[in-house]
Amino acid sequence: MDPRVKGIELKLKNVRRIIPIVSGKGGVGKSLISTTLALSLKELGFEVGLLDLDFHGASDHVILNSPISELPDEEKGVIPPVVHGIKFMSIVYYSTDKPTPLRGKEISDALIEILAITRWDQLDFLIIDMPPGLGEQLLDLIRFIPRGEFLIVSTPSPLSVNVVEKLVALLKEGNHRILGIVENMHAGNNLTEEMAERMRIKYLGEIGVCDEIDSLIGEPESIMLSDFGKNLKKVAERIVSGDRPR
């Protein structure tokens, strides 16, 4: 067994549930959903951490309006700063918002490093905003955090649903835990829900198109009050209770 797996397990031993947020493609709202889900779970009274591992598209700090000029404190590891009540850690602290021209192996090493150094301490939920797609980093995460419960984000587009179906198949093949699927930018068809039924995974609900969302980026309190935030809170409640939405 890779000794780093043990190190990461130890760092995460007081984290009750780990939820990596994954999507087949980029641009489906994964960052907005990761961040808003973390804030919703906090609102529901849980201790929450948010880790942005989307190397080439890290944007949770922009959504939270969290300055990245100051590096997190270090004391026997890195201590994530508390932002809007959640413990927040992002790869962006180390890439300083410049383009990160890392290649496969370097990205894997950075991902493993950040998991191995971050001191989350006691958490109910750790939400991980993953890079989109079925690439190397997904495989790394599966290897290093075998107890992750994957939450999948799709859109009503057949293009998204098609790729997500492959993602579900991959996770199922490896017997990984799938929490369920959320449809973002719902648009009147049931492609995602039908796929969820076909693949026998839980459909956790949908979020409609929210025209004001871009104007609310950087204002987490306003996001929570928007339709986007309200819908996501329902998803959070389902995750917490484990109830099916129907």
CB-based contact 128:141 (threshold 8 Å): yes
CB of 30 to ligand ADP, least distance (A): 3
Q: Which residue's CB is nearer to ligand ADP, number 28 or number 163?
A: 28
Our measurement of the distance from residue 188's CA atom to the centroid of its chain's CA atoms, rounded to an integer in Å, reads 25
Contacts of 132 (CB under 8 A, 6+ apart): 22, 23, 24, 25, 26, 27, 28, 30, 54, 57
State both tokens at 57.
Answer: 């598209």
Applying CB under 6 A, the span of 29-37, 69-77, 80-88, 237-245 interacting with ligand ADP comes to 29-37
Applying CB under 6 A, the span of 23-31, 41-49, 75-83, 134-142 interacting with ligand ADP comes to 23-31
Report CA dihedral (29, 38, 56, 90) to the nearest 10 degrees: 160
Q: Which residue's CB is nearer to ligand ADP, number 23 or number 90?
A: 23
Q: Which among 153, 42, 55, 59 has a CA at the least distance from the CA of 100?
A: 55
Q: Which residue's CB is nearer to ligand ADP, number 59 or number 66?
A: 59
CB-based contact 36:120 (threshold 8 Å): no
Of 57, 77, 81, 146, the residue at the interface with ligand ADP (CB under 6 A) is 57
Asked if residue 228 binds ligand ADP (CB under 6 A), the reply is: yes
Sign of CA pseudo-dihedral 141, 146, 149, 153? positive
Asked if residue 179 binds ligand ADP (CB under 6 A), the reply is: no
Asked if residue 180 binds ligand ADP (CB under 6 A), the reply is: no
Q: Which among 38, 126, 128 has a CA at the least distance from the CA of 84?
A: 38
Q: How many chain residues are in contact with ligand ADP, going by CB under 6 A?
A: 18
Asked if residue 133 binds ligand ADP (CB under 6 A), the reply is: no
CB of 2 to ligand ADP, least distance (A): 29
Interface positions with ligand ADP (CB under 6 A):
23, 26-32, 57, 59, 184-185, 207, 209-210, 213-214, 228
